[in-house]
């Protein structure tokens, strides 16, 4: 089923509640902004459910509106919401996955990204994100990387298109740091990196990037991201096709040792 780019329901509820309380007091956003250390545009985004409010924001608005704690009690439900609604389910499934297999075509999977690389990725998003949004998104992405060292271990494989490694997201220093991180990650016993070389004359990945997740009850789910949302594929026929494609991609890509060697050559300028 498709997932749209709607914000999490909890953020929408909080936004409506805070807007209702503000309007009940006959107060405009600009008047509220004059009482708290946040701008009227920030207030508008929170009220629309587009931005998760920080605890300090909730405290300030609750006090300014004389809400008596009505908004404060919602902090645990809204303050940690870093992902749009369509991504929340994927993040949860990924954290619980027994296995994850991903084919990357434009940039590295979030589990592989350094903080600096993730920052560069989010700064490339259009329409542009503001500084606070970028910082929240980066920290949320880094938090998912607990999966790399989780016990019991999640089995992970990644097939990376060679141009993904050649693209110097964030500049030379960020790029080199990211390549060194890939070499470090490739040493994990539960993770395997493979590179799809540009010289390859046949290629099974014409339909684009994808991820396969094995759930705790040993079901496999396909996941595909689009421009404004994502899809989960759970029908056996669909998952079977995706699994076949991914298996073919792995057979066409460089093996783990050759992939490490290519990353090392990129770092030394020999590739």
Q: Choose one of 35, 62, 78: the last residue of a domain.
A: 78
Q: Is 220 left (phi over 0), alpha (psi -120 to 50) or beta?
A: beta
Residues 151 and 208 in one domain: yes
Residues 73 and 154 in one domain: no
Residues 91 and 71 in one domain: no
Mean pLDDT across 122-143? 88
Q: Choose one of 78, 108, 132: the last residue of a domain.
A: 78
pTM comes to: 0.71
Cα–Cα distance, 202 to 97 (Å, whole number): 31
Supply the CATH number for residue 72's domain. Answer: 1.10.260.40
Q: Choose one of 78, 96, 112: the last residue of a domain.
A: 78
Cα–Cα distance, 252 to 259 (Å, whole number): 12
Residues 172 and 252 in one domain: yes
Residues 71 and 113 in one domain: no
Residues 178 and 261 in one domain: yes
Residues 149 and 262 in one domain: yes
The pLDDT of residue 1 is above 50: no
Total domain count for the chain?
2
Strand partners, 196: 161
pLDDT digits (tens, 9 = 90+) for 187-242: 999 999 999 999 999 999 999 999 999 999 999 999 998 776 678 999 999 999 99
Give backbone dihedrals phi and psi of 90, rounded to 5 degrees, phi first. Answer: -65, -45
Domain that holds residue 206: 85-268
Residues 133 and 16 in one domain: no
Residues 143 and 69 in one domain: no
Supply the CATH number for residue 146's domain. Answer: 3.30.870.10
pLDDT at 2: 42
Residues 50 and 70 in one domain: yes
Residues 13 and 109 in one domain: no
What does DSSP say about strands 220-225 and 210-214: parallel, antiparallel, or unpaired?
antiparallel
pLDDT digits (tens, 9 = 90+) for 157-181: 999 999 999 999 999 999 999 999 9
pLDDT digits (tens, 9 = 90+) for 34-89: 999 889 998 998 999 887 787 788 889 999 999 998 898 887 677 554 555 556 77
Residues 218 and 152 in one domain: yes
């Amino acid at each position: 089923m498709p997932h749209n780019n709607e914000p999490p329901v909890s953020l929408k509820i909080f936004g409506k509640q805070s807007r209702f309380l503000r309007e009940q007091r006959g107060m405009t956003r600009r008047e509220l902004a004059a009482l708290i250390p946040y701008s009227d545009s920030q207030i508008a985004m929170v009220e629309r459910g587009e931005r998760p409010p920080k605890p300090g924001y909730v405290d300030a608005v609750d006090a300014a509106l004389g809400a008596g704690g009505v908004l404060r009690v919602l902090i645990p439900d809204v303050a940690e919401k870093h992902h749009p609604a369509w991504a929340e389910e994927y993040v949860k499934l990924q954290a619980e996955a027994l296995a994850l297999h991903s084919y990357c075509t434009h940039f590295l999977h979030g589990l592989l990204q350094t903080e600096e690389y993730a920052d560069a990725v989010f700064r490339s998003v259009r329409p542009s994100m503001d500084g606070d949004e970028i910082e929240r998104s980066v920290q949320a992405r880094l938090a998912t990387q607990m999966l790399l060292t989780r016990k019991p271990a999640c089995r992970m494989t990644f097939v990376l298109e060679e141009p993904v490694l050649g693209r110097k997201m964030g500049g030379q220093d960020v790029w080199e740091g990211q390549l060194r991180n890939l070499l470090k990650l490739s040493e994990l016993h539960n993770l395997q990196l493979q590179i799809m070389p540009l010289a390859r004359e046949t290629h099974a990945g014409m339909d684009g990037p994808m991820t396969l997740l094995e759930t705790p009850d040993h079901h496999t789910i396909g996941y595909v991201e689009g421009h404004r949302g994502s899809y989960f594929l759970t029908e056996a026929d669909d998952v079977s096709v995706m699994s076949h494609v991914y298996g073919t991609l792995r057979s066409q890509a460089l093996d783990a040792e050759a992939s490490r060697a290519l990353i090392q050559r990129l770092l030394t300028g020999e590739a």
